[in-house]
Amino acid sequence: MIIRGDEPEQIRLLRKLYKPGNYFMQGNEAVAYGALFAGCRFYAGYPITPSSEIAETMARELPKLGGYYLQMEDEIGSIAAMIGASWTGFKVMTATAGPGFSLMQENLGYAVMTETPLVLVDVQRSGPSTGQATKGAQGDFFQARWGTHGDHPIVAVSPTSGQDAFWEIIRAFNIAERLRTPVVFLFDGVLAHTRELVKIPSVDEVEITYRKLPQNEEEAKLPFGDPHGDGVPPMPLFGHGYFTHVTGSTHKENGLRDVYTPEVHDRLVRRIHRKIEKNRHVYEKYEEHFTDDAEILVVSWGVTARPALGAVLKAREEGIKVGLFVPKTVHPFPGERMRELGKRVRAILVPEMNLGQMILEVQRYVNDDVLLKGVNKIGGVPLTVEEILREIRGVA
């Protein structure tokens, strides 16, 4: 039986099992509980640090809600199982870290091409390769965007705290379902293993979305069409009596393979791009602090946004007019807002736990007369308030 997560019995179980209140928990646990509130009832995974607590929590909690946890033989099998379960109607998730994320890239491309909604959590750790296995990093920024091959759009969300992770994973599910697309959740090893206060809300406070289904036989016959003009096809589910063909090869609106006709490939891939680009209002999200009068702008994401805010607050106490811009959806990058902010300031600092990745996206949208400088740290240790503050003073 398919569970959407919004059935009355599911709401009753959530109310019974997870009382509203403040809890002291790891970021990984916040991700898992947020996923349960979002309606995730299928998880397939392979343990890898620093993401394993997500699998452990889902293995313990999913059976209580009638959901399914599958321990797979590896990461390739994990994402493949997710894709299959999604086509039966489940909201699905897996979690991994850098090396596992690399193994999942081929099937991530398959999910893009077959327009399969799923949430893939990448708890970033210090690399390349097996690197510093337990240490956090922000080195997968572009792997999330370009890790799989071919022309493809991707949506990637990145939270800044355990509380934020709870709500942002719900948002990731809603985006995946609304746009019928995979969503990457870019977490990191520091936040994943940080224990902090997380407020679990009442079930009534959580708004969840379920994918568009065919309203009649004609729509079901075109699982890759665009009957509503928004680029998002209704998704016929396996086991509901439809004859649906799903392939990662180029296919026509009815799902049948056609790898020879240029127009078919052009029409398919352009629509997949268009549905992400024209529905920017569904996923674009960012936070701003003190940007109204800022002469210096700090742009940061994920775990690094926290010391960045601390540094901005201290700098403003010293009279430095500095603001902070935090993309919460990092792909597609909020470029137009970045362009607007870039015209107002004379310097931009980009702190991140890598040797300079998001700064390249920032660079695409700001003029050459703006001083643009990375504040970079690797080695599995997060940037501190003092380290970022020192750089702000340096350009003030």
Q: Considering the chain, tell me which residue range(s) the CATH 3.40.50.920 domain(s) occupy.
A: 286-394
- As a three-state string, the secondary structure of 196-210 is EEEEECCHHHCCCCC
User: Across the chain, how many H-helices and E-strands are there?
Assistant: 16, 15
Give the 3-state secondary structure of residue 141.
helix
* Strand-pair partners of 208: none
Mean per-residue pLDDT pooled into runs of 10, the chain (396 residues): 92 97 98 98 97 98 97 97 97 97 98 98 95 94 97 97 98 98 98 97 96 95 96 95 94 97 98 97 98 98 98 98 98 98 98 98 96 97 98 97
Q: How crowded is residue 396: how many other Cβ atoms within 10 Å of its Cβ?
A: 14
SS3 per-residue string spanning 32-69: HHHHHHHCEEEEEECCCCCCHHHHHHHHHHHHHHCCEE
Q: Does the model's pTM come out above 0.85?
A: yes
Q: Are 299 and 279 in contact (CB under 8 A)?
A: no
Rounded Cα–Cα distance for residues 334 and 349 (Å)? 17
Residue 1 confidence (pLDDT): 78
pLDDT of residue 367: 92
Which CATH number is associated with domain 286-394?
3.40.50.920
CATH topology of domain 8-205: Rossmann fold (3.40.50)
**Alpha-carbon distance 179 to 155, whole Å?**
10
Q: Any idea which residue has 């997968």 for tokens?
A: 140
Long-range contacts of 21-25 (CB under 8 A, 24+ apart): 21/199, 21/200, 22/197, 22/198, 22/199, 22/200, 23/197, 23/198, 23/199, 23/200, 24/195, 24/196, 24/197, 24/198, 25/162, 25/195, 25/196, 25/198
